[in-house]
Chains A and B, each alone.
Chain A
Amino acid sequence: EAQVTQNPRYLITVTGKKLTVTCSQNMNHEYMSWYRQDPGLGLRQIYYSMNVEVTDKGDVPEGYKVSRKEKRNFPLILESPSPNQTSLYFCASSFANRGRDGYTFGSGTRLTVV
């Protein structure tokens, strides 16, 4: 089944404790992206990647890191989480061609930083 898999689904952590949210896709998509969703603000792009070893900042990259060492994986790293990073996070992927397809989204990771 074609899908984007995120882990974990739920995570509660303490301020300053490094964490990684994993994302993997099995559709050979070039383009991968991370979003956070907050009430009243919609989805905001954190980072995206056009292909292996190519990453770029989105609208809200502060406090986050990403890497794209393999085509299928795009982990999101919070080096020192803070309470304002409490949010619902989504990973998504698509083919790079602009007009070919829409995104396929993961099921989301609900992160709480206390």
Chain B
Amino acid sequence: SQQGEEDPQALSIQEGENATMNCSYKTSINNLQWYRQNSGRGLVHLILIRSNEREKHSGRLRVTLDTSKKSSSLLITASRAADTASYFCATRRDTGNQFYFGTGTSLTVIP
């Protein structure tokens, strides 16, 4: 399986701090995406980074991609209590049509 893995599994920070989550995957990819899931709800797409990109920003989110190390990181700056959720990375291979999700990082932001 090409399932990605997020690290850490759980993260607890104070409001206002930055949160960094990492994702590793196994094979060549076309793009990598990050999603947020509030408890028991559907996943919400946050940001997509293509294999030829190294860094991307969207509001308080910063994503980096290192294809040589097969890893990505998601940085949430100035975290808020509303950022409390699980975060998943997902990869789409450069061949084939399957998406693979990691097991997620559970982020708790303490007010």
- Flag whether A67 is at the interface (Cβ < 8 A): no
Q: In chain B, residues 64-108, which have Cβ atoms closer than 8 Å to a Cβ of chain A? A: 88, 90, 92, 94, 97-104
Indicate if the CB atoms of B104 and A42 lie closer than 8 Å: yes
For the complex, would chain A's binding face be called helix, strand, loop or mixed by DSSP majority? strand
- Flag whether A24 is at the interface (Cβ < 8 A): no
Indicate if the CB atoms of A108 and B41 lie closer than 8 Å: yes
We find that the number of chain A residues with CB closer than 8 angstroms to chain B is 29
Q: Whole-angstrom distance between the alpha carbons of A103 and B98 in the complex?
A: 12
Q: Contacts A40-B103, A98-B30 hold; do A103 and B97 have CB atoms under 8 A apart?
A: no
- Flag whether A12 is at the interface (Cβ < 8 A): no
Residue of B nearest to A92 (CB): B43
Indicate if the CB atoms of A105 and B99 lie closer than 8 Å: no
Indicate if the CB atoms of B97 and A102 lie closer than 8 Å: no
In the complex, how many angstroms separate the beta carbon of A100 from the nearest chain B beta carbon? 9
Residue of A nearest to B4 (CB): A42
Indicate if the CB atoms of B88 and A108 lie closer than 8 Å: no
Question: Which residues of chain A are within 8 angstroms of B98 by Cβ–Cβ distance?
Answer: 45, 48, 58-59
Residue of A nearest to B96 (CB): A56
Q: Contacts A48-B97, A107-B41 hold; do A102 and B103 have CB atoms under 8 A apart?
A: no
Residue of A nearest to B101 (CB): A43
- Flag whether A106 is at the interface (Cβ < 8 A): yes
Q: Mark B8-36, 1 if CB is under 8 A from A, else 0.
A: 00000000000000000000001101010
Residue of B nearest to A41 (CB): B103
- Flag whether A88 is at the interface (Cβ < 8 A): yes
Q: In chain A, residues 66-114, which have Cβ atoms closer than 8 Å to a Cβ of chain B? A: 88, 90, 92, 98-99, 101-108, 110
Q: Mark A15-55, 1 if CB is under 8 A from B, else 0.
A: 00000000000000001010100001111110010100000
Question: Which residues of chain B are within 8 angstroms of A50 by Cβ–Cβ distance?
Answer: 97
